[in-house]
Amino acid sequence: MTTKPVLIESRGISKSFGSFLANDSINFDILEGEIHGLLGENGAGKSTFVKMVYGLLEPSNGTFYWNGKKIIIGSPQEARNFGIGMVFQHFTLFPTLTVIENIELALNDKFTTHELRDTIIKKSAEFGITVDPDIYIRDLSVGEQQRVEILRCLLQNPKLLIMDEPTSVLTPQESEQLFSVLKKLSKTGCSILFISHKLKEIKKITQRATILRGGCVVSTVETADVSTEQLAKMMVGSNPQNVKPKTARKSGDILVKISGLNKPADNPFATALYNISLNVKAGEIIGIAGIAGNGQSELMEVLSGEWRSTETFDVFDVFGTDIRNYSPHKRRQLGIGFLPEERHGHSAVTNMKLTENTLLTNHNSPLIQKNNVVKNENLEKLTNDIIDKYDIRTPFRNPQASSLSGGNLQKFVIGREIIKKPRVFFVAQPTWGVDIGATKFIRNSLIDLANDGCGIIVISQDLEELFELADNICVLFRGKLSESKPLQELTSEKIGMLMGGEELHSESQGH
């Protein structure tokens, strides 16, 4: 394999933002026709590095060599001229235009529409990407949109294709399809830089992988020679602590009853919710799977009370009380905790101090305020309790939330809610963008909470997380919620099918 010539080489590439060193002297190379993985945790410096390869950022130091020649990639335009294409995590397609129009917009060369259609059909046949050139982007699924993005890159005959976390928006089945496209592509001699933090994918699809940790290269390995455990160890730096097994919880009384929930889409980008029903028992964790954009944030708005209705919503009882018209703080007073997925500006305000972030969900407590005047001592004490109990690392006393790392801030906001011992807890993406250590900690805290009899709903796109936490899982697809099924009856394939909108036929095919 090493007989292949080197396509691009990174020698001593560094990038600093102010005093923060995001990339420290990155050395590795990508061979022609190789699928090369770039593995690392959130914040390891993967995105910074590929942005430099694609000309979006300029390196502070170091050089790229392209076919052995020193090059400077000054802009994405220049990158494309070298033959570097990139598919971003967040797509850059116009929903109101057709496939062919979107591709036309991105091309430098002038094609006639007729020629372009022929080229698209030819290319898509070559790589098994089936897509109708005249269909509108808004009518495509996320997986299909990603294929259009790839197709758009392919028309420029790239020598290197960068894929930034491509599977984070895909169902397991769609991921498989993507992998087969990428393999065909690499056979034609195109190199692929595949960025991911998912070990199994890296192991499955790449020939070699470079592992980044804290902005430095840990190692470049032949993926066939290492186990996923070894990869994990290199990525995290130490043996990841395991999530504690769930104790067999006896299911208690029904705490939450939801039925007939309909929520119209309030803007063109929102997803409407249709006839959702769901019950949560004491001590039970219900996992809601699904790909982003299928109604997760809308469902969270309903659970937290940021959206309220008694017209299109039949039943929302918690502890037997109808809470359809309860505001978020009234719900908190009832013993309900909730936490939306976005830390920055939703569950926390990053340019406010931690005490103020504590006040965010405690401003109604008589312990914290009297006659509208804040009792600062008690507020500080509560904040310090959260910091101590949930082991939150702060650079100094009472810093702004922005100076905490993502994992620490998430631990803080989760701690802020569960220190109140809620009897019902709704949480979305509890470990999104959080390092492995904090992830384990957070999952353990949720399990502890359920063991104490709290009823929990976890909305997550991370199937691994749901398998670790949930007792029952249902899937949200285009605003509809599937029936909840016990974990034992489910496999990731089955959930994947539901995530892609297919019905499960209870006795079909077997295993």
Partner 1 sequence: MFYLTPRKEISLFFTISIPIISILLTIIFGFFIFSILGYDPGKALYHFFISPLSRLDKIADLFVKACPLLIIGTGLVLCFRANIWNIGAEGQLIMGAVFSGGLALSFSETQSVWLLPAMAIFSFIGGALWALFPALLKIKLRTNEILVTLMLTYVASLFLDWLVRGPWRSPTSFGFPLTKYYPDVALISKIYFPGIGNISQLHWGVFIAILICLLCWFAMEKTVFGFQIKLIGDSPQALRFSGFNESKTTITLFIISGGLAGLAGMIEVSANIGQLQPNISFGYGFTAIIVAFLARLNPAAVIISGLLIALIEVGGDSAQIALAIPKVVTGVFKGILLFFLLAGETLTKYEIGFNYNQKSSLND
Q: Site for partner 1 (CB under 8 A): which residue of 106, 216, 232, 360?
A: 360
> Do 283 and 306 touch, CB atoms closer than 8 A?
no
Q: What number of chain residues touch partner 1 (CB under 8 A)?
A: 35
Instruction: Check binding of 346 to partner 1 (CB under 8 A).
Output: yes
Instruction: Check binding of 334 to partner 1 (CB under 8 A).
Output: no
Q: Site for partner 1 (CB under 8 A): which residue of 342, 380, 385, 464?
A: 342
Instruction: Check binding of 383 to partner 1 (CB under 8 A).
Output: no
Q: How many CB atoms lie within 10 A of CB 417?
A: 21
Q: Closest approach of Cβ 64 to partner 1, in Å? A: 16
Instruction: Check binding of 380 to partner 1 (CB under 8 A).
Output: no
* Candidate segments 99-107, 273-281, 328-336, 452-460, binder of partner 1 by CB under 8 A: 328-336
Whichever of 250 and 393 has its CB closer to partner 1, that residue is 393
Instruction: Check binding of 415 to partner 1 (CB under 8 A).
Output: no
Whichever of 11 and 330 has its CB closer to partner 1, that residue is 330
Beta pairing, strands 485-486 & 472-477: antiparallel
Q: Site for partner 1 (CB under 8 A): which residue of 21, 71, 106, 374?
A: 374
Q: Closest approach of Cβ 374 to partner 1, in Å? A: 6
* Candidate segments 120-128, 135-143, 213-221, 369-377, binder of partner 1 by CB under 8 A: 369-377
Map residues 272-311 to x or -, x wherever contact with partner 1 holds by CB under 8 A.
Answer: --------------------------------xxx-----
Q: Site for partner 1 (CB under 8 A): which residue of 31, 39, 44, 57?
A: 57
Write the DSSP assignment of 109-170 as a string of letters: S---HHHHHHHHHHHHHHHT----TTSBGGGS-HHHHHHHHHHHHHTT--SEEEEESGGGGS
39: tokens are 């593995």
Instruction: Check binding of 473 to partner 1 (CB under 8 A).
Output: no
Instruction: Check binding of 197 to partner 1 (CB under 8 A).
Output: no
d(CA 14, CA 25): 5
Instruction: Check binding of 203 to partner 1 (CB under 8 A).
Output: no
Q: How many CB atoms lie within 10 A of CB 170?
A: 20
Instruction: Check binding of 327 to partner 1 (CB under 8 A).
Output: yes
Instruction: Check binding of 429 to partner 1 (CB under 8 A).
Output: no
Q: Site for partner 1 (CB under 8 A): which residue of 69, 225, 373, 508?
A: 373
Q: Site for partner 1 (CB under 8 A): which residue of 359, 434, 456, 457?
A: 359
Between the two ends of the chain, the Cα-to-Cα distance in Å is: 37
> Do 368 and 379 touch, CB atoms closer than 8 A?
yes
**CA nearest neighbour of 430 among 453, 456, 392:** 456
Q: Closest approach of Cβ 15 to partner 1, in Å? A: 9
222: tokens are 């032949």
426: tokens are 């709704």
Q: Closest approach of Cβ 3 to partner 1, in Å? A: 38
Q: Site for partner 1 (CB under 8 A): which residue of 6, 25, 32, 56?
A: 56
Binding to partner 1 (CB under 8 A): which residues in 444-463?
none
- Only one residue has tokens 């299109």, namely 312
Q: Site for partner 1 (CB under 8 A): which residue of 361, 431, 460, 482?
A: 361
How big, in percent rounded to 5, are the helix, strand and coil portions of the chain?
A: 35, 25, 40
Instruction: Check binding of 47 to partner 1 (CB under 8 A).
Output: no
d(CA 85, CA 8): 13
Q: Site for partner 1 (CB under 8 A): which residue of 25, 168, 277, 369?
A: 369
Q: Closest approach of Cβ 10 to partner 1, in Å? A: 19
Whichever of 345 and 510 has its CB closer to partner 1, that residue is 345
- Report the SS3 class of residue 97: coil
Measure Cα distances from 423 to 46, 94, 257, 348, 470 in Å: 40, 44, 14, 22, 17
**CA nearest neighbour of 192 among 176, 178, 171:** 178
Backbone φ and ψ for 463, nearest 5 degrees, come out as: -60, -40
Q: Closest approach of Cβ 79 to partner 1, in Å? A: 14
Burial 329-357 (b: 16+ CB within 10 A, else e): eebbeebbbbbbbebeebbbbeeebbbbb
d(CA 7, CA 177): 26
What residues line the site for partner 1 (CB under 8 A)? Answer: 17-18, 56-58, 60, 304-306, 327-332, 340, 342, 345-349, 351-352, 356, 359-361, 363-364, 369, 372-374, 376
